[in-house]
A = this chain, B = another copy of it.
């Protein structure tokens, strides 16, 4: 079974066999147990994570002390704190596994040299980032224009399998409403 990251990359660019060798020599899968953190607030994030299997989340602890999930990362998604990664500053976020997961962790220095050795890889990341940014623009649109109930139904319609996969209270905070309100939406009590 081929490395799933290489498979993902090939969907966007073509790779020479020698490039694949280089990549494979740098990549290894690490297992992250459910609830384990790969980044905590205040740490500098020097790593990009590609989710091979399982599910990760990015969250914060808000001023009231409650956890708030800002992003999920499932199979074939990259997850990191891009600002901390890019500017080498302490992170605002936690990154945590919400299922037993497998990720490919690429250290910034390793990635920098890979990008120099395989220039075409810049193209891959450019495309992936543009797609992610586009998705984020749509997310802002949904947050701004839909009611809590509409956001829940919209998400549920588009990602029904995913809704089964994560605790409701995490999905509620991702959609920016309270767990209690989620319960009432689901019960039709709104």
Contacts and interface: CB of A to CB of B under 8 A. Distances in A.
Interface of A: 58, 60, 62-63, 68, 70-71, 81-87, 92-93, 115, 119-120, 122-123, 125-127, 129-141, 143-145, 173, 176
A81 B63 CA distance: 33
A80 to B, nearest CB: 9
Nearest to A63: B145
Given A126-B126, A144-B176, A134 B82 contact: yes
Given A58-B137, A68-B144, A115-B123, 16 more contacts: A62-B144, A63-B145, A68-B145, A70-B141, A82-B133, A85-B134, A125-B130, A126-B126, A126-B129, A129-B129, A129-B133, A133-B133, A136-B136, A143-B143, A143-B176, A144-B173
A178 to B, nearest CB: 12
Copies of this chain, complex-wide, total 2
B86 A130 contact: yes
Q: Which of A87, A93, A133, A134 has the most CB of B within 10 A?
A: A133
Interface of A is mostly: helix
B68 A138 contact: no
